[in-house]
Structure 1
Amino acid sequence: MSARKIALEQPESFSFSKQSEKEIKFWMNKYPESKKASAVIPMLWIAQKQEGWVSEPAMREIADRLGMPKIRVMEVATFYTMFNLEPAGEVFIQVCGTTPCWLRGSDELKKLCEDKIGPQRHVSEDGKFSWLEVECLGACANAPMVQISTRDSDHYYEDLTPERLTVVMEAFARGETPKPGSQNGRSCSEAEGGSSALTDKSLYDGSLAKKIKLPNAGPKKEKA
């Protein structure tokens, strides 16, 4: 994996909001004083949800709160790819580009994002959108798909085409949160065409399996 570096331009300071402080209190109460550094990942996530990314001043604040060396917090933030190390749009689109999504048209989704937003990591002029190609997000059955993150949610949008993704993006641009999940009408990850596709029991009850004789198997016992 290539090295991840923090952004060159950083804010002068960082402070947690009142809402963030409530969440921090919850996590800090989960660990004994001697193990409070265990809250580093939740605190980094809270900082990201508040600002859209994790800045260097935020890392310093977290290190001070947890009594950790600052470099240790930075090591965690740069290791986990879920943390944005540079500013992101209010609506952050992660486009899966791994094989199943690529075979199903993720290149077209990436082109759409590039045309509408700009290059990867670029934040649109209104601050609304940014995007990034990522590795497998684990929804291969409904490829191609994206994860869209805002300050309030992280949702999967699946079975996409450029047209369907355009509809989703336009909804976010209007301040709406479109319904996540499959965008072609399928339920969860059922087969396209509906669950009726497997009504033939012989497809799964073993009746089509070829009978074999196991080596060293004794004679078949007759039922009493």
Structure 2
Amino acid sequence: MLSITEKEAIDHEIGLVPHKRATVIEALKIVQQHRGWISDESVAEIAEYLEISPAEVDSVATFYNLIFRRPVGRHVILLCDSISCYVMGYKQLYTALQSKLQISFGQTGPDNRFTLLPNACLGCCDHAPALMIDKDLYRDVTIEQLDDILQQYT
């Protein structure tokens, strides 16, 4: 069941648009912020609250790559794999992250600290390669910087 806090935040978003259903993505983001990911149960709860079908909610949830449909670690690393990042050292960063974290794309470490995901573009092609951890963007990333970057996230 959606919490009172979740409902209040969703109600705020509903007040900003002409139709309830227009708040699906915001409702997903709100619930994910509180729960860490969007379970099938969460999809059903959002659908019921917005008076739409679970399939409609799920279609939005699965379209956006920052809506997580399975549990993720405390911190999510998005490694840009665009052509600019690829040319500027993406493969080496990916290999180094795999080695340091002992995980591949789509996996979460056994300590639940990090989940590693590919991202098609982080919007900083002029500062490739790039990665994002949670809401923090790192540009012009080198393998030598990885330890210092990762140590910031416990």
TM-score by length of 1: 0.64
CA RMSD of aligned residues (A): 1.6
**Aligned partner letter, 2:14:** M
Asked if 1:160 is matched to 2:144, the reply is no
**Aligned partner letter, 2:26:** P
Q: Which has the larger radius of gyration?
A: 1
Say if 1:104 and 1:144, in contact at 8 Å, map to a contact too. Answer: yes
Q: Hey, which bits of structure 1, 4+ residues long, moved more than 6 A?
A: none
Say if 1:110 and 1:133, in contact at 8 Å, map to a contact too. Answer: no
User: Of the candidates 41, 52, 56, which is equivalent to residue 25 of structure 2?
Assistant: 41
- Give the structure, 1 or 2, with the largest relative contact order (CA under 8 Å, sep 6 or more): 2
Asked if 1:31 is matched to 2:21, the reply is no
SS at the partner of 1:172?
coil
Partner of 1:66: 50
The percent identity for this pair of structures is 29
- Give the distance between the partners of 2:20 and 2:71, measured in 1 at CA: 28
Partner of 2:112: 127
- Give the distance between the partners of 1:139 and 1:20, measured in 2 at CA: 33
- Give the distance between the partners of 1:170 and 1:146, measured in 2 at CA: 15
Asked if 1:113 is matched to 2:94, the reply is no
* CA deviation after TM superposition for structure 1 residue 113, in Å: 1.9
- Give the distance between the partners of 2:95 and 2:26, measured in 1 at CA: 34
**Aligned partner letter, 1:26:** H
- Give the distance between the partners of 1:85 and 1:141, measured in 2 at CA: 31
Asked if 1:53 is matched to 2:34, the reply is no
Structure 1 portions without partners, runs of 5+: 1-14, 174-224
- Give the distance between the partners of 2:54 and 2:123, measured in 1 at CA: 32
Partner of 1:190: none
Higher helix residue share = 2
TM-score by length of 2: 0.91
* CA deviation after TM superposition for structure 1 residue 162, in Å: 1.4
* CA deviation after TM superposition for structure 1 residue 100, in Å: 0.8
